[in-house]
């Protein structure tokens, strides 16, 4: 039996190697330049020059700065009728649960988003009542924020940090322990709608969580809801929204927020 298994494994390796060689040859043939290079080489338009930040936390030169550690001038209350009233101190924003969600004054379509968040070191509670907040893309599609470090806080896996809330389970859990800063880098493609309001193309999300890919071009099913099936509602450009969750645990904090449209 052992010899048979070894033989079978060897045959599979040979088959995989031959298939790989065949595929590689096909790719090489497909990439052979045309006899006339002018048919294959493109010289314009040149990409825009972007000066990167000194670190991945620092915004690149073409970014829209949404929070630089000083004030909430780029933000408003979720109803858009009053100033954002979360606390700003020592270069960070801390959620004020009594005043509700906040959202950006500017509206966006598709973008690259960088945002950093921290669960309090002395966080208490369990499940969805342990450092709960959320980053709502287009103000509608939630990327969950929660203490799930080391998988110690048990909850539904499509509701843990790094999930598209109640939809897509994160591919890994790289969350840092409470008291340390976590980073979300998100590539978001907004949905498109037909003239009759039906979905033409759904929203998609790629999410790097502390540098680890946890959502890979994941299709979004619709508007985030806690008690009904997610469905789409026709919309255009919309604000980025941050959640003031109503649980009783200590409020979390955010910093270094920027967007590239």
pLDDT digits (tens, 9 = 90+) for 25-46: 444 444 545 556 667 787 788 8
Question: Any residues with CB less than 8 A from the CB of 22 and at least 6 apart, and which?
Answer: none
Against a cut of 0.75, is the pTM above it?
yes
| pLDDT at site 37 | 62
Q: Is 32 exposed, middle or buried (0-12, 13-18, 19+ CB in 10 A)?
A: exposed
Question: Any residues with CB less than 8 A from the CB of 15 and at least 6 apart, and which?
Answer: none
Nearest of 201, 205, 203, 169 to residue 186 by alpha carbon: 205
Check if the beta carbon of residue 142 is closer than 8 Å to that of residue 218.
no
Q: Which fold has domain 64-260?
A: Jelly Rolls (2.60.120)
Q: What is the pLDDT of residues 106-125, one digit of tens each?
A: 999 999 999 999 999 999 99
Section 10-30 average pLDDT: 43
All structural domains of the chain with their residue ranges: 2-39, 64-260
| pLDDT at site 34 | 53
pLDDT bin (cut points 50, 70, 90) of residue 101 is very high
Kindly state the percentage of the chain with pLDDT values over 70: 85
């Amino acid at each position: 039996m052992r010899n048979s298994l070894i033989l079978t494994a060897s045959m599979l390796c040979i088959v995989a190697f031959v298939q790989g060689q065949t595929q590689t040859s096909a790719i090489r043939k497909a990439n052979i330049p045309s006899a006339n290079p002018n048919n294959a080489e493109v010289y314009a338009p040149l990409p825009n020059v972007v000066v990167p930040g000194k670190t991945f936390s620092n915004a690149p030169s073409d970014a829209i700065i949404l929070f630089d550690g000083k004030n909430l001038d780029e933000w408003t209350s979720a109803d858009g009728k009053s100033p954002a009233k979360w606390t700003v101190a020592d270069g960070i924003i801390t959620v004020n649960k009594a005043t509700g969600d906040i959202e950006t004054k500017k509206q966006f379509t598709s973008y690259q988003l960088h945002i950093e968040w921290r669960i309090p070191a002395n966080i208490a509670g369990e499940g969805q009542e342990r450092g709960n907040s959320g980053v709502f893309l287009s103000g509608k599609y939630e990327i969950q924020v929660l203490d799930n470090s080391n998988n110690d806080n048990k909850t539904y896996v499509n509701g843990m940090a790094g999930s598209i809330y109640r939809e897509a389970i994160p591919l890994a859990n790289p969350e840092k322990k409470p008291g340390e800063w976590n980073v979300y880098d998100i590539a978001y493609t907004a949905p498109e709608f037909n003239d009759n309001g039906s979905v033409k193309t759904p929203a998609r999300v790629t999410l790097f969580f502390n540098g680890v890919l946890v959502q890979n071009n994941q299709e979004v099913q619709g508007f985030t809801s806690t008690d009904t099936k997610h469905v789409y509602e026709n919309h255009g450009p919309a604000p980025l929204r941050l959640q003031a969750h109503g649980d009783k645990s200590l409020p979390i904090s955010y910093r270094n927020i920027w967007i590239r449209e």
